[in-house]
């Protein structure tokens, strides 16, 4: 597990973008195509905007990348909180990514069916009953959740590599998420984390008691590849006391 610590969020985002470009280009050079899993939420929006900017838009052969999502809120695609919509507006559309390269989580079905459909779609496209993604991007919530692996949810104990529906009792909402075993099969995993509100979660993941029920991000580590954390000084301030 590799920690990359930078002075401020803008520097973290810039270095993460450089890491992504290098990783994607290496994979495309070796295999011709790349399978990339994106993360949602507020933190990565500036990352996607940077990748779609003139600085980065022409340094990756985006036509050779397939795009997936690690999780999705169980809301319509038109909803302001839909991860797919956010990425479409700030990343896919500016880069003119072809629709057949994008695998959105379709929430027009009941939650369990939506999860099953997504699981089947990624297996068909990767041609493997046990999909291995080239790079998975993740964030970290203030409560140490990542993707939609939330504290106290049954999906934390899932042993199969797949996609599952998750019901959050405290919010009374569903989400769809890749399971930890599926995420951990990736050749590379990269976390994007910044801000003082993340400091306690970062501390608990790295230095707290081993308790995946309380700190789900402790579950995540690439089995056969690399796991990199891109953080700013505020996010790690409890680690370096």
H-helix or E-strand spanning residue 158? none
Q: How far apart are the first and last CA of the chain?
A: 20
Is 61 part of a structural domain of the chain? Answer: yes
Is 241 part of a structural domain of the chain? Answer: no
The CATH number of whichever domain residue 14 belongs to comes to: 3.40.50.1360
Nearest Cα residue to 190 out of 140, 143, 228: 228
- Compute the chain's Rg from CA coordinates: 17
Is 87 part of a structural domain of the chain? Answer: yes
Angstrom distance (rounded) from CA 37 to CA 82: 16
Is 238 part of a structural domain of the chain? Answer: no
Number of domains in the chain: 1
pLDDT in tens, the chain (241 residues): 899 999 999 999 999 999 999 999 999 999 999 999 999 988 899 999 999 999 999 999 999 999 999 999 999 999 988 999 999 999 999 999 999 999 999 999 999 999 999 999 999 999 877 889 999 999 999 999 999 999 999 999 999 999 999 999 988 999 999 999 999 999 999 999 999 999 999 999 999 999 999 999 999 999 999 999 999 999 999 987 6
Domain that includes residue 39, residue range: 2-230
State the burial class of residue 98 (Cβ atoms within 10 Å of its Cβ: 0-12, 13-18, 19+): exposed
Name the CA dihedral angle for 41, 47, 48, 52, rounded to a multiple of 10 degrees.
Answer: 170
Angstrom distance (rounded) from CA 212 to CA 224: 21
């Amino acid at each position: 597990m590799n920690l990359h610590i930078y002075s401020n969020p803008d520097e973290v985002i810039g270095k993460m973008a450089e890491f992504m470009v290098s990783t994607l280009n290496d994979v495309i050079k070796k295999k011709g195509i790349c399978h990339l899993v994106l993360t949602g939420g507020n933190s990565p929006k500036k990352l996607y905007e940077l990748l779609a900017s003139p600085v980065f838009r022409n340094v990756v052969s985006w036509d050779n990348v397939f795009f997936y999502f690690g999780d999705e809120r169980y809301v319509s695609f038109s909803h302001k909180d839909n991860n797919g919509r956010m990425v479409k507006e700030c990343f896919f559309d500016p880069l003119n990514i072809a629709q057949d390269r994008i695998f959105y989580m379709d929430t027009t079905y009941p939650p369990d069916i939506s999860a099953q459909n997504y699981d089947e779609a990624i297996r068909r496209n990767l041609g493997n009953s046990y999909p291995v993604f080239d790079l998975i991007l993740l964030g970290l919530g203030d409560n140490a959740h990542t993707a939609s692996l939330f504290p106290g949810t049954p999906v934390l104990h899932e042993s199969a590599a797949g996609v599952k529906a998750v019901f959050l009792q405290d919010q009374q909402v569903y989400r769809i998420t890749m399971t930890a075993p599926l995420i951990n099969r990736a050749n590379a995993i990269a976390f994007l984390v910044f801000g003082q509100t993340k400091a306690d979660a970062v501390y608990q993941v790295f230095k707290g008691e081993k308790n995946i029920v309380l700190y789900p991000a402790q579950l995540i580590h690439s089995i056969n590849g690399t796991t990199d954390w891109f953080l700013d000084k505020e996010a790690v301030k409890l680690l370096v006391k």
